[in-house]
Structure 1
Amino acid sequence: MQRLSFKDNIRACAVCKTWREACVSVRVDEYPTPWLISYTLDKEEYELYDPLLDKTYIRKSTSPDLRDPFIECSTDGWLLMHDNNFIETFFFNPFTHERIGLPWPDMWNTQALAFSSAPTSNGCVIFSVFHVTKRSVIIKTYCLDTKECTAFMFPHRLPLKDGGFEHVVFSNGVFYCLASIGWLGMFDLSTTSWNVLSRRAPKCVSPNDRFMTEYQGDIFLIYTNTHDLDDQPRYLKLDLANQKWTDKIRLGGLAFYLSSKSSLTANRDLLYNQQMHQRCICSYVWVKPPLNVSDLFKS
């Protein structure tokens, strides 16, 4: 089993339970396969779903503010979320039950929100598109280490106000913000500058059919509903040098795990599971599990 490629390792998992356990035990991966976390209304619990083993774990909520929470975004296995009354804002790790409060006022009143890294790491920065008008955009950042909030105002003449933002992705020191009408705004942390891509992304059938994600510095757009005859997803890659999105790209075995609040990319064949889509009737998001996730969920 040690000599199998990752692709063949995945295929061997389907032979039987014994082979699957053997394959998983020897697999060397960049990080474990993303897991899906979902909350069901009016329940003091949440589910963690491992798509590789097709296994679901039920976790009890550890505090009242985790009942029916509102998830803003996810990075490095952590969730940034509000309680259902939008009073408390906090980080939460669904694997370890760690909770970190966040005393940043007016955070919920934003058009886009993301954070750069785990709140337990050095230099974690929270990013917010606080307000957009026809002529300007207000960006706010909050440094978790220094507890300092900084506001920036940038002029622009693009119609970013209409429809708000769909997705925010952080990569190589830059927050990429995709507006619902296709414009891509980019905020560079090192230069504190805001720029907008000169060409819009192609239109989508509906906001729920377009997702943005990153992998090793590359930014991707995935269209899941193209109305093509073959009903295949469409993949685009950001070409900053030419200020455009490039079509007909080579994916090289990348797999995309898509949700409205957080989309992850991994270097492996896509593992599609129809049950995953049938059961997610509540708030859900993909999260990056810790390397020792198997130790945390031993039977």
Structure 2
Amino acid sequence: MASPSPSPSTVGRKRSKILIKEPLNPSFADLTSCLLEVIMSHLVLKDNIRASVACTSWLEAAVSVSNDVFFFNPFSRELISLPKCELPFWEIAFSCPPTLDTCVLFALNRVMTHNVTLSTCRPGATEWITEEFPYDFEDLPSDYDQRYMHSKLVYVNDRFYCYIAGSLYYFHQSLRTWNFHYAYTLPCPYLHYKQQCEFVEKAVFLAEKEGEIFVVFTSGHEKPMVYKLGFFEWEEMSKPELDGLTIFVSFYNSEVRRDLPWMRNNVYFSRFGYNRKYCVSYSFDESKYIPPKVWQNWLQYCPTNSLWIDPPKNVLDYL
């Protein structure tokens, strides 16, 4: 006996169940990175910065299309534009807040065996001043790698200092001269060598506090080594000599504080990324990293997209 044919109403009900889908909820977060970069490339700088705080993917797209150098206050949202620097630079620093007329920007463009190229600029200027100084870097190895062999820049008493391949150099802003600081050479105690066809990465951080200059060496899981510049030599600082100092280091800047007793005798590294709720630090009091994890690569804790910011005392006024 043949089964009865389905009625039209039954077919309609079945078809309706098949055709009905869940409503779509499109989101800007679903945009591909290529499309985001196209959108960001059409924004002016101020709108680019505003869009970059939406989420991580927007931040990455905003940074990828922005080649300008500028001052930006994350608290007040004030933006100070600067002329485009024609030469790429490895390091850049400024002498004082850009709101002051005396502010000077200093960029270290290139360090070669027999010369150094640098650029300077002031807020409000229309172009950078680029100069090349002939200089013989006697301690510069033939396989010199600028990423690991020199430090960040610090400003002290009209001079921009940089530690290069074991020696301290400075650019005198008023005299516009490049010189060697006559302190004993301090080679990095962590040798830069190849192990199983890979370079062992290390980092050098230069910091300043109230006119005193410090250099910090880090490499692998070894403890950080801290030195302070004396009259004519570097003095290694042990636990008692640190005297409660707290040192914050990152790829772009380093800060030294004396007024943080609950963080005394520590070196803090700027960690960046998802699910990272705390920084990595080394405690000289306990002689260990916190959290206790083997450090294989300094870039894990000092990546290029992180830095330390000292917030203003009235930070709550900006919230």
Task: Quickly name the TM-score band, shorter chain normalised.
Answer: 0.5 to 0.7
More strand by share: 1
- Residue 125 (structure 1) aligned with residue 111 (structure 2): no
- Residue 93 (structure 1) aligned with residue 96 (structure 2): no
Checking the alignment, whether the CA contact within 8 Å between 1:123 and 1:144 is kept in structure 2 is no
Identity %: 26
Instruction: State how far apart, in whole Å, the 2-side matches of 1:166 and 1:207 are.
Output: 14
Aligned length: 222
Instruction: State how far apart, in whole Å, the 2-side matches of 1:123 and 1:104 are.
Output: 20
Aligned mate of 1:221, from 215, 221, 233: 215
Instruction: State how far apart, in whole Å, the 2-side matches of 1:136 and 1:128 are.
Output: 15
Aligned mate of 2:173, from 189, 196, 204: 189
The alpha carbon displacement at 1:252 in A equals 2.6
From the CA coordinates, give the structure whose radius of gyration is larger: 2
Checking the alignment, whether the CA contact within 8 Å between 1:169 and 1:213 is kept in structure 2 is yes
Instruction: Tell me how large the CA RMSD over aligned residues is.
Output: 3.4
Aligned mate of 1:285, from 291, 302, 307: 307
Over 3 Å counting, the alpha-carbon distance change for 1:207 and 1:116 in structure 2 is farther
Kindly report which structure 2 residues correspond to 1:202-221, keeping only aligned pairs within 5 A, or say none: 202-204=188-190, 208-221=202-215
Q: Which position in structure 1 is the counterpart of 2:249?
A: 258
Checking the alignment, whether the CA contact within 8 Å between 1:136 and 1:157 is kept in structure 2 is yes
Aligned mate of 1:200, from 179, 186, 189: 186
Kindly report which structure 2 residues correspond to 1:216-255, keeping only aligned pairs within 5 A, or say none: 216-225=210-219, 232-239=223-230, 241-242=231-232, 244-248=233-237, 250-255=241-246
Instruction: State how far apart, in whole Å, the 1-side matches of 2:304 and 2:125 are.
Output: 36
The alpha carbon displacement at 1:255 in A equals 1.0
The alpha carbon displacement at 1:257 in A equals 1.2
Over 3 Å counting, the alpha-carbon distance change for 1:232 and 1:88 in structure 2 is closer
Unpaired stretches in structure 2, ≥5 consecutive residues: 1-32, 37-46, 192-199, 269-276, 281-290, 292-299
- Structure with the bigger RCO (C-alpha within 8 Å, sep 6+) is 1
Q: Which position in structure 1 is the counterpart of 2:50?
A: 63
Instruction: State how far apart, in whole Å, the 1-side matches of 2:219 and 2:124 are.
Output: 41
Kindly report which structure 2 residues correspond to 1:33-182, keeping only aligned pairs within 5 A, or say none: 62-64=49-51, 67-68=58-59, 83-106=63-86, 109-147=88-126, 149-158=128-137, 159=140, 162-164=144-146, 165-179=150-164, 181-182=165-166
The alpha carbon displacement at 1:195 in A equals 1.3
| Alpha-carbon displacement from aligned partner over 1:225-270 (angstroms, at most 9, x marks no partner) | 586xxx643220113x31x322236233221111111111111332
1:129 alignment partner, SS class: strand
Q: Which deviates more from structure 2 when the two are superposed, residues 275-284 or residues 128-137?
A: 275-284
Instruction: State how far apart, in whole Å, the 2-side matches of 1:83 and 1:125 are.
Output: 24
Over 3 Å counting, the alpha-carbon distance change for 1:182 and 1:282 in structure 2 is closer
Q: Which position in structure 1 is the counterpart of 2:272?
A: none
More helix by share: 2
Over 3 Å counting, the alpha-carbon distance change for 1:296 and 1:110 in structure 2 is same
Over 3 Å counting, the alpha-carbon distance change for 1:103 and 1:248 in structure 2 is closer
Checking the alignment, whether the CA contact within 8 Å between 1:113 and 1:128 is kept in structure 2 is yes
Checking the alignment, whether the CA contact within 8 Å between 1:255 and 1:266 is kept in structure 2 is yes
The alpha carbon displacement at 1:202 in A equals 2.7
Checking the alignment, whether the CA contact within 8 Å between 1:201 and 1:245 is kept in structure 2 is no
2:136 alignment partner, SS class: coil
| Alpha-carbon displacement from aligned partner over 1:95-118 (angstroms, at most 9, x marks no partner) | 2222222123325x1132112122
Checking the alignment, whether the CA contact within 8 Å between 1:129 and 1:139 is kept in structure 2 is yes
1:68 alignment partner, SS class: helix
Kindly report which structure 2 residues correspond to 1:8-47, keeping only aligned pairs within 5 A, or say none: none
1:294 alignment partner, SS class: helix
Over 3 Å counting, the alpha-carbon distance change for 1:222 and 1:288 in structure 2 is same
The alpha carbon displacement at 1:285 in A equals 0.6
| Alpha-carbon displacement from aligned partner over 1:166-203 (angstroms, at most 9, x marks no partner) | 31111222111123x33322111122121124513433
Instruction: State how far apart, in whole Å, the 1-side matches of 2:181 and 2:76 are.
Output: 39
